[in-house]
Amino acid sequence: MRASEATNSEQSEANAMIGNMSDRRPTLDPLFQVSSSFGAYSRSEAPPDVTHVRNLTLGRAMELGAARVETTPTCGTLSFPAEVDLSNGEAILDQALGLLDSGAPALILDLSDCTFCDSNALNVILRSQMRATELGVPMWVVLPPRGIVRRVAEVAGLPRRVAIAPDVATAREALAPVTHA
């Protein structure tokens, strides 16, 4: 039977089911503060007030790490936290772009203390490189000599796109002729 051949009783039964669904009010799960009902709250209803939002990792609250920023007259250095992923990648990108937009003469992204990264770290590096190129600002990336962060960078082809240094001192030496010229 085709949908257009539905009987009046089938249509009224479907309309009754839809009407019953609109009577349900969404409830919020107190732990995650998200709607747990079939339909989320509508635009006519006020959204729920969320007083405390936390990220959970295996049942415990997790601090979102941000990068450490150091500025000198010759460059800005952004030292990445131990882990860079979806939880903190956007915040680190904002820090990097903020450094560039504030007029830093050069930028060093230091991943030497980073022990884990996913594509969000690569996103931070590549988008920072694009912005640095737009502004005419030289940029170096410091990668650890080995480990998962180095491997992710190599597999993604990062050394072909950005200048890589073994440590911050080497990156600063390489920037010295550029910033003092």
The model's confidence at residue 171, banded by pLDDT at 50, 70 and 90, is very high
CB atoms within 10 A of CB 14: 11
Has residue 48 been placed in a domain? yes
Residue 63 is assigned to a structural domain of this protein: no
Give the tens place of pLDDT for each residue, 123-164: 999 999 999 999 999 999 999 999 999 999 999 999 999 999
Residue 111 and residue 31 share a domain: no
Percent with pLDDT over 70 in the chain: 62
CA distance 27 to 93: 35
pTM > 0.75: no
pLDDT for 180 equals: 45
Q: What are phi and psi of 79, to 5 degrees?
A: -95, 120
Residue 11 confidence class, pLDDT cut points 50, 70, 90: low
Residue 141 lies in a domain: yes
Residues 68/79, Cβ–Cβ less than 8 Å:
yes
Classify residue 154: in a domain, yes or no. Answer: yes
Do 25 and 78 lie in one domain? The reply is: no
Q: Each residue of 33-74: pLDDT tens digit?
A: 444 444 444 444 444 433 333 343 443 334 446 889 999 889
Q: Tell me the residue range of the domain where 134 lies.
A: 68-180
Whether residue 174 is predicted with pLDDT greater than 70 in this model: the reply is yes
Residue 114's contacts (CB-CB under 8 Å, 6 or more residues apart) are 80, 81, 82, 83, 84, 121, 144, 149
Whether 92 is covered by a domain: the verdict is: yes
| Residue 58 within a domain | no
